[in-house]
Every structure is written in structure tokens, then in C-alpha cells.
Amino acid sequence: MYEKEKGLFDAFVAGKLSRRELLSASAKLGISAAAGGMLLTQAQTRAMAADFDWMAFKGTKLKLLLNKHPYADAMIANLKTFKDMTGMDVTYDVFPEDVYFDKVTAALSSGSSEYDAFMTGAYMTWTYGPAGWIADLNDYIKDPAKTNPNYNWDDVLPGLRASTAWNGVPGGELGSADAKQWCIPWGYELNNISYNRKMFEKAKVEPPKNLDELVATAAKLTKDLGGPYGIGVRGSRSWATIHPGFLSGYSNFGQKDFTVANGKLTAAMNTAESKAFHKQWVQMIQESGPKNWSTYTWYQVGTDLGAGASAMIYDADILGYFMNGGDNKEKGNIGYAPFAANPKAKAPTPNVWIWSLALSNFSGQKDAAWYFMQWASSVEHDLFGARKMDFVNPVRASVWKDEEFRSRIDKSYPGYLNQHDTSAPGAKIYFTAQPLFFDLTTQWAETLQKMVAKELPVDEGLDKLAANVDKQLKDAGLG
Amino acid sequence: MDHTSNLERIIRGGLIALVLIFFLFPIFWIVLMSFQTNETILRIPPSIFFEPTLSNYSALITGKLKTTAGNLDLAFMKNLWNSVLLSTLSVALSLILGVPAAYAFARFRFRLGEDIAFTLLSFRFAPPLLVLLPLSLYFKQLGLTNTYIGLIWVYQLICLPLILWIVRGYFEDISPDIEHAYRIAGNSWWQTFRKIAVPLAMPGIAAAGLLAFIFAWNNFVFALILASADKQPVTVGALAFVTASGIQYGQIAAAIVLSIAPTLALALYAQRYLVEGLSLGAVKG
Amino acid sequence: MTAAAEHMPRPKTSSRFLRRSLPYLLSLPALIVCIGILIPFFTAVYYSLLRFRLNLPALKGFIWFDNYLNFLTDAAFWNTVKISLVYAGLTVGVELLLGLGIALLLQKPTRFNNLASILLLLPLMTAPALAALMWKLMTNPNFGILSYLVSLLGFTNFKWASDPSTALLTVTLVDVWVYTPFIMILLLAGLRSLPKAPFEAAALDGVPRSFVFFRITLPMLLPYIITASLFRLLDSIQQFDIVYSMTQGGPGDTLMVFQVQSYLEFFQYTNVGRSAALLIVLWAITYFLSNIFIKQWLKLRERAHGVA
């Protein structure tokens, strides 16, 4: 190795050198792009290797359970770095998203030791944690013998660290002092407006700033564009309908799903403010939502925006991100805007979905598996994924400061950085952590469907839902 | 014997045309989609005109999917092979077990006979989910998790009752007199079964075997729960195109076309047995 | 016929014991291979008597029949029973009539008819989970060819599976599309193996065709009809793939059939006890209905072949 080049790349990895500086400097030294990539990988390894024995589990074979997802793709593309650095072998099973969590539940509920670590969403850990299927990662993060000194856990966005930590008490606050770290945030999405800039220009509207404007803008778009509908929000009979735009807007009005008092939960969806919010939401879907709203899942939200069937979506920002590329008809036309539903709110309060990594309690080689997890969630890998792959949104503050990543995003995704930076401070999980999360949230979606279909008035529907939810909480000893 | 008037012929022709349109139009549309990219599939309104592309098929067959995020590996051909393996071996086992049993129920009246027959049918009553979850625990203890043998065993739940009960009906429709005569001629029971009974019931066996094959082929929950990614059938593999960065309709359509092809080939091959049904009429009692 | 079998002359070599045990030797392997799979069934029965939620391990306990008793007062449960029965009745009914009609149309073994009957199997060869995805696309209000065709006929606001009033109709349509060929091929094979003599005699006597159909064809075909509808019924009342892929049981609770509900109970809510209890109820309903079919089938067989 030539010392000069080595020093150059080390400086880059340590953040002392920008991408541009690195490129011009390496060009001066006559390093080709390919060789540069190789040197960069080696630099990644050297940066991480400082004062830590990465080879401790040399020869160990790990197996991962992964969802078919760009995050997993980015990891697989960089996996050789980990294998070279640790001498471990890593194999993986990738399952389609449609059936992924079924596979996880099946594997873990049978106590299978096949998988050492796996991808999960934060909500799922509210099941896996109490069921005893996953390990508390605080035991690893806080142990200097197990975690490399450069791991820099505090660099992970605080809202995400808190959202993936829960003390296991129903209604217990996320990220409390006694919380267990059930998983490590890996990549995340927050919910804002993604819109078709051409259509907005044509209809002469601006991205809406609050719910009143959203309802009005969506209606105007639907009317003026003559074809595309105004707003895409999820609607299928699933908890997944509640967690994106809907809960983000709902939380912005200070509304909660439950109130917690003396360790008991009570439904809080039938307050006057909640009813007003639901009425506006239902009206918006009826006036300017998709016709197939009640069977409308995340991929249709995206597909419709990408194919020019909808003018805007209030859903995951990365869905809008993906629709701006690929073979989508509207690629290059998508813009992004932060959104605070409540006109009186100071900032958006997006609820988040966090793809995370969890450590299986049934694994026979947890320490080795943790080596993989800390590598996969390291600054170095996060940076690699964010710059070179679609590892968006990265979870680390330092990556969001990376100039190369920022300029890549800013160039092709106008407004994306702004919507993220504006919303990130308020981005966290706004649900109350409790074991009946999936049952009760799915019922919420079911009720919403009945309201939109005009089978049930909003006020009556929410009172019924709350009564029903309270009964189930009581039956489970939680209410 | 056939005094069909012209009017009737026209009505018949019209009805057959309607039937074919209803059942085959969606297939036709899927085939069209398999030659398109998402960009042309997702047009408003949909159109039948497009510039065909083979990219979906080449991605599936070579296992390389080009996306904006780089090249991804696909395991589709492996999935297809798993489906062939699982369905073929499951149906073969079901036929070996089921056809003699069906013959026994049809030809002999024996103690507990109907009970055994009903019990075998009752495997089909249990909702798959009911059996699967506890089964995954037992499979772990037996070491059958993630093995083809374990899966083929579970697939008997789908194939065996179907083959047993359909083939039984055909055996019962064949007059025992023919077998009777053959046995008097000095042939053993086994020879009679092989040379007379099975060939006569062939249309039924072919139909039942084909249907069992199709049901085994279309199943996906068994392998999903009981095996890891390298043993997944094509039904699970095709779902991989519902990706986080959008749903790849063209590739799903191509996956459907490719996954239908082996079954269709089998059906066309079995067709001559299905057709022979008619010639049987002469020898039936 | 059983009588004939009993009086078959036996070659000297086969002992009385072998003769007696032959039917058992033939049928037991099938039973033995399957019986192992039944053990999990009893495990599931046990689960159904537990208060057992994987993510509330502290609450686990034996509660006898409480899971079942809770169903009695649960409106959602009765809705599920109703929907499952309606769904099964509707799909099997339509598929039977349509399948029989098509089998009659294709009865003559011409080259065209043979090819048509194989091509009609194509929908059955499409895995229901994937077929449902394709139907969802074809009925999509923006890109769907069927929505487009229907809008040309003036129904611009037809919402297919997304509207509570047309969801059942849409899902039934998909089920009919997928599974009618199953009944068709079985009945076609049955029709083609019917003896010719009665039909020739009837034709010579100039018996009206409707009379031939109702008095000769249909009775002779009945055992096939029963077998075919029995297997369809078993699958239809346990419908999952199509409903789940198209609506996840919605809109609202319009299509919340048994398997979808118990799937959600297990895989999403991890409520093992309740999920198992639901499935046991489904098993009982299936058992009861199939028993009726089987009894009928056996009775017909007796009549057709004469009592021993």
C-alpha cells in the first residue's frame, strides 16, 4: 500500500475530506475509479478496525433473515467488506415483503435457531420482545468488549433510538430510562407530502401547509386536472393504513391513540378533536381519494404517483423518492414538502416506520451476530449505502451531513432534504407501545373503511371503536 | 344419433366462444403484460398497443434484475425447479399410495373400510393453518424442517385425498366382470390390477393426478412456513416482484406465464388419457 | 358388485389370510403416511383451550372452552360464519352450474373440444394468490383493462372489490374464474365415461332431450357432481388466497372469512388460542357439511351398483 493514498482515504473516511476533495486529490495521485473503490473499502475496514478485534469470531457462520428491500440489497452489495474484515461467513434468506413477517413469526414462534439476526419493523418488536424472541441490545451496545469504540451509537437520530426502545410495560414510554433496546434502526421513512410538480403547476397550486389546505388542494387538483385524483393515502384493511400519513396528521393535533393512567390504557380515539380530524380525513378521501381506496396498499400509493394517476401522496417520503426514478412515467417530476396538519403546530410530527435489525434469542452465536449488526449499522456502511445505493433514509446524523449524499439527493430529488430536515426533529413513533397494537390498529382501519363507505357516521363509529377497544384492553388485563 | 339443427350449432358455438373469452381473456392479458414494462402496463387508459420487450423474461431466466439501484440476483429459476420437484414427487407418492387404496375401497367391502376412507378424506377438512403451526414445532424435533422430504410429506394433505376419492369413483364405475374374467384365466390379483383395472381407470387417474399436481403447484404456505428460501416454490418466488420500490407487474406476469408452462405441458400430454374416457363406455356395466 | 368381488374364484396360491388382509394392505400405507400429520391437529385442539397470546406470556393458562364461549356473543364471529357460508354457497353453486354447462358443451371428443378443455384449465393453473394480484390490477380504476371496458359500457364509478356492495361479487368472480375449470374437467371426464347404451336407446325411442338430461344424464353424473362439489366446498369454505390478496377481508368486515380472520389472529396478533379455536370451528363446519355429501354419495353408489 502506498502511504500517500492510504492517508488520503483515511482522511476521507474520518470525515476530514469532502468527496470532491478526495476525488481531485486522488486524480492528482493517478488513482483510477475502480482502484479508488477498492482502497475506499479497505479504508472503511481500517477505520473500523481501530482498537477492536474484528477477527474474534473468524470462521463463524451466520445466517440472516432478510426482507426483499433496497436496504437489504445495499447490505448485500457491501457484505464482502464485512466478511473480509471479520473472516466470518454470512448467508441469508431473502423473502418477499408480502410474506416476510409471516416467515419471521413462523420461524421465531417455533423457536428456530436457523437465523441469527433478522430485519424487523419497530412495531413488531412489541410482539417479539415480550414473547422472548429477541435480545435486549443494550447488553451489547454498552459493553466495550462487544462493541467497537467507533460505533458511535449516539450518532443515530435520537427519535429513532427512542422509538426502538421500550421497557415492555403496556403503555410504557418509548425510550424511557428502563427501556430495552429491542432493535437497531437501520433505515427509516417518515411521512410527508410527495407531489407531482407538473400537475401542481398545471393546476396552479402550491404544496399544502396544513390539513385544511390539503383537503382543499386535493379537491381542486381532482377537479382541475380531469383524470388524476388529488391525494393518495393508504386505505386497505390493515394497521398499515393508520401508521403513515393518517397518524402523522392525527398526532400533529396532539391526539393520542390511548391515554395511560396508573398502568391502565384507555382508548382516546373519540375525543372531539379526533372526531373533527376523522371527519376531514374521511371527507378528503371521499372527495379526492382513489376510487379503490379500501384495497389501496403502500405499493399502490406509490404506483399511482409514479404513473401519473395521482397528483400527490401523504405517505412515506421514500415512496415518493422511489417514484422519481426507475421506469416510472413521472420520474423526475416528483417534488417533496414537509407537512404539519395542524395550522397551529410549529413543526411536522411524522410518525415513522423504521426498518431495523434484531438479534434472535434462539441464536447460538449472539456475540458473533452482534458483530454483523454493528457493522451493518455502522457509520461506514450507512455512508456506503446512502452514497452508492438506495439506502434512504439513513438513520445516522453524520450521514445526513455528508456532502456527497446531500448533493446526490438534492440534485435529483428537489425538496427532499428540506422536508426531511424540517421534520426529522419531530420524527418518531407516535403510537402507544402495547401488545394489542396490531389487533386494535387494524380495527381502527376497519372503522375508517366503514366511515369512508358511509356505512357508519364518524362520531358513532369512533365511540363504538373506543368502546370495543376498551373491552379488549380489559379482557387482556391492560385496561 | 346427433340431430343437431343449425340453430343449435350456432347457439353452441356462441356459448363456447363466450366461455373461452371469459376464461382466457385474463390469461391473454397476462401474456401481453409479460412483454411490457411497468411504464406501458400502467397507462391510462390501458391499451393493447405497445412495443414488446423480452426484458422480463430475460431477467427471470438469467436471474439478473437491472434496477436503478444496481443489479439484483433473483432466484426465480430455482423456485421453478423447486415447484417441479415438489409437485412431481408429491403427486407420484400420492399415486403410489392412493391408487391401490382407492381400488381397495371400490372393490372390497371390509371392516372399517368406509371409516378409513373417510378419515383419509378428513385430512382435507383441517384448515392448513391449523396443522401447519404445530407441525413446524414437530418438524423441528424430527429434523424435517427445511427438507424436501418433509415438504413432500405435508403435500400429501393436498394430493392424497383428491386422488383417492376421485380415482375411487372411477374404479367403482368399471364393471368387476372384466377383471373377473381375467382372473379366471389364471392371472394373479396383482396382474389383474395392473393390466386391467388401472388401464381402465386411466382417465380418472390422469384427471386426478393432473388436478393434484395443479393444487400442489399452486400451494405456497407450506413451503413458506416449513422451509428456508432455497426451497421456496415459484408461487413465493413470484411475490418477490412486489418490491419496496414499486410493484413489477411485467415480471409478475412473466413469472405466471413461466410457471403455467410446465403444468400446461403436462395437461396437454395427459390429454389423450382424458379423451379415452369415451371408449370406456363400451365395457362398462 | 361387492357381491361379485366376494365370489371371485381365488387362485390356489393366495391364502385365506392374504385374501382377507388384501384391502388393508392396499389402504393402510396411505393412512399411515397421513396419520402422522394428524398429530398437530390435536396440538391445535389443545391450543384452542388455552388463553394463549405469544406476546402476553404472563396470561397463558388453561381456560377450557372460554375461547369458544366468547364466540357466542361476538358479533364479528357470527359475521365470519355467515360470510364464509355465503361465500362457499355462492362460489360452489355458480361454479357447479357453469362447470356442468361447459362440460356439456364440450362433451363431444372433437379435437377442438379437447384442446378447449385443456386451455380452460389455464386459470386453474394460475396460483390463486398471483391470479388475485392480476385481477386487482385489471380492476384498478386507472390502469385496469376491466375497469376500462366496464366504463365504456357506462359504469364509470364501478369500484369492484373496493366497495362493500360489490366486493363479494368481485371476489366471487375471481373464484369462479379460477375454480370453475376444476369442476368442468371432472364432470367432462365423468360425462365422457358414461355408458352409451341408455342414450342410444333413448334417441331411438325419440325421448325428448330435456327428459334424457334430467332422467338419464344427470342421475348418472350425480356421483361425479358430488365429488367435484365436495372438493370445491372443502376449499371454498376455507378460502384464503383470493380474499386476502384482494381485500384483506374488507372493506370493513364485508369479506372477513374464517381463514383470513384466523390468519390475522395468528400471524399479526399472535393470539394462538383464539386463532386455533376459530380454525377448530371451521373444521367442525367442514366436517359436518362433508358428511352430508359423503352420505349422499355412498347412498347413490349403493343404488347404482345394487345392494350386495
Q: How far apart are CA A320 and CA A314, in angstroms?
A: 9
The arithmetic mean of pLDDT across residues B63-70, rounded, is 62
pLDDT class of A11 with cuts at 50, 70, 90? low
At residue A25, the pLDDT reads: 55
Overall fold of domain B76-283 = MetI-like fold (1.10.3720)
Question: How many CB pairs lie under 8 A apart between chains A and B?
Answer: 102
In a domain, A315, yes or no: yes
pLDDT class of C284 with cuts at 50, 70, 90? very high
Contact B133 C282 (CB under 8 A): no
- The tens digit of pLDDT for each residue in A31-64 reads 544 454 555 566 666 666 667 899 999 999 999 9
At residue A20, the pLDDT reads: 52
pLDDT class of C40 with cuts at 50, 70, 90? confident
- Asked if the C-beta of C65 comes within 8 angstroms of chain A's C-beta atoms, the answer is no
- The tens digit of pLDDT for each residue in A225-261 reads 989 999 999 999 999 999 999 999 999 999 999 999 9
At residue A98, the pLDDT reads: 86
Contacts for A299 with CB less than 8 Å, ≥ 6 apart: B242, B246, B247
Rg, chain B, Cα only: 23
Count of helix runs (H) and strand runs (E) in chain C: 15, 2
Taking all residues of chain B, what is their mean pLDDT, rounded to a whole number? 87
- The tens digit of pLDDT for each residue in B82-120 reads 999 999 999 999 999 999 999 999 888 888 888 888 888
In a domain, A54, yes or no: no
B129 against A27, higher pLDDT: B129
**Considering chain A, what percentage of its residues have pLDDT values greater than 70?**
90
Which three cell numbers, joined as nine digits, stand for B167? 380415482
Candidates B87, B131, B159; CA nearest to C36 is: B131
Name the residue type at position B105: F
At residue A33, the pLDDT reads: 47
**Chains in touch with B (≥3 Cβ pairs < 8 A):** A, C
Name the residue type at position A185: P
CATH homologous superfamily of domain C77-257?
Answer: MetI-like (1.10.3720.10)
Chain A contacts of B241, Cβ < 8 Å? 96
Taking all residues of chain A, what is their mean pLDDT, rounded to a whole number? 91
**Chains in touch with C (≥3 Cβ pairs < 8 A):** A, B
Say which CATH number the domain at A250 has.
Answer: 3.40.190.10
Mutate to test the interface with C, among B94, B125, B194 (most CBs of C within 10 A): B125
Domain residues of chain C, as ranges? 77-257
Buried residues in C234-268 as b, exposed as e (16+ CB within 10 A): bbbbbbbbbbbbbbbbbbbbbbbbbbbbbbbbbbb
- Asked if the C-beta of C273 comes within 8 angstroms of chain A's C-beta atoms, the answer is no
pLDDT class of A134 with cuts at 50, 70, 90? very high
Number of structural domains in chain A: 3
Q: Is the pLDDT of residue C307 over 80?
A: no
Domain residues of chain B, as ranges? 6-73, 76-283
- The tens digit of pLDDT for each residue in A331-390 reads 999 999 999 999 999 999 999 999 999 999 999 999 999 999 999 999 999 999 999 888
At residue B241, the pLDDT reads: 86
One domain, residues A179 and A202: no
Taking all residues of chain C, what is their mean pLDDT, rounded to a whole number? 89
Contact C227 B113 (CB under 8 A): no
- Asked if the C-beta of B245 comes within 8 angstroms of chain A's C-beta atoms, the answer is yes
Candidates C303, C284, C291; CA nearest to C81 is: C284
Candidates A204, A18, A65, C292; CA nearest to B228 is: A65
In a domain, A335, yes or no: yes
One domain, residues A147 and A212: no
The shortest C-alpha distance from C205 to chain B (Å) reads 11
C305 against B222, higher pLDDT: B222
At residue C36, the pLDDT reads: 80
Chain C contacts of A237, Cβ < 8 Å? 247-252
Between A237, A307, A438, which is nearest C269 by CB?
A: A438
Return the bridge partners of A336, or none.
A194
Helix (H) / strand (E) containing B139 = helix B128-142
Contact C250 A237 (CB under 8 A): yes
One domain, residues A87 and A129: yes
One domain, residues A218 and A347: yes
Instruction: Give the C-alpha distances (Å, rounded to integers) separating A200 from A210, A325, C84.
Output: 16, 19, 46
Question: How many CB pairs lie under 8 A apart between chains B and C?
Answer: 298
One domain, residues A380 and A312: no
Instruction: Residue window 193-212, chain C: list those with CB within 8 Å of chain A.
Output: none
Buried residues in B50-81 as b, exposed as e (16+ CB within 10 A): beeeebbbebbeeeebebebeebebbbebbbe
- Asked if the C-beta of A109 comes within 8 angstroms of chain C's C-beta atoms, the answer is yes
One domain, residues A37 and A103: no
One domain, residues A12 and A161: no
Candidates C186, C196, C168; CA nearest to C252 is: C168
The shortest C-alpha distance from A176 to chain B (Å) reads 32
- Domain with A87 in it: 59-186+354-426
Q: Which of A328-337, B114-123, B269-278 has the lowest mean pLDDT?
A: B269-278
Q: Is the pLDDT of residue C277 over 80?
A: yes
Q: How far apart are CA A373 and CA A369, in angstroms?
A: 6
Return the bridge partners of A94, or none.
A66
Contacts for C302 with CB less than 8 Å, ≥ 6 apart: none
Q: Is the pLDDT of residue A178 over 90?
A: yes
- The tens digit of pLDDT for each residue in A102-123 reads 999 999 999 999 999 999 999 9
Q: Is the pLDDT of residue A210 over 50?
A: yes
* Chain position carrying cell 493514498: A5
The arithmetic mean of pLDDT across residues C80-88, rounded, is 97
Which three cell numbers, joined as nine digits, stand for A102? 409471516
Buried residues in A228-245 as b, exposed as e (16+ CB within 10 A): bbbbbbbbbbbbbbbbbb
CA C69 to chain CA centroid, nearest Å:
28
Q: DSSP characters for C30-58? A: HHHHHHHHHHHHHHHHHHTTEE-BTT-GG
Contact C250 A236 (CB under 8 A): yes
One domain, residues A371 and A451: no
Q: Which of A391-405, A434-448, B137-151 has the lowest mean pLDDT?
A: B137-151
Q: Is the pLDDT of residue C253 over 80?
A: yes
* Chain position carrying cell 400519513: A245
Contact A73 B42 (CB under 8 A): no
pLDDT class of C299 with cuts at 50, 70, 90? confident
The angle that helices C128-138 and C164-192 make with each other, rounded to 10 degrees, is: 130
Contact B104 C200 (CB under 8 A): no
Q: Is the pLDDT of residue A27 over 70?
A: no
The arithmetic mean of pLDDT across residues C33-48, rounded, is 87
Contact A295 C247 (CB under 8 A): yes
At residue C35, the pLDDT reads: 83
User: Among A395, A410, A426, where does a domain finish?
Assistant: A426
At residue A41, the pLDDT reads: 63
- The tens digit of pLDDT for each residue in C255-266 reads 999 999 999 999
Contacts for C18 with CB less than 8 Å, ≥ 6 apart: none
Count of other CB atoms within 10 angstroms of residue A441: 22
The arithmetic mean of pLDDT across residues C233-251, rounded, is 93
Tell me if A165 sits within 8 A of A184, measured CB to CB.
no
Contact A307 B242 (CB under 8 A): no
Contact A329 B246 (CB under 8 A): no
Mutate to test the interface with A, among C162, C241, C260 (most CBs of A within 10 A): C162
One domain, residues A406 and A279: no
The arithmetic mean of pLDDT across residues A303-307, rounded, is 94
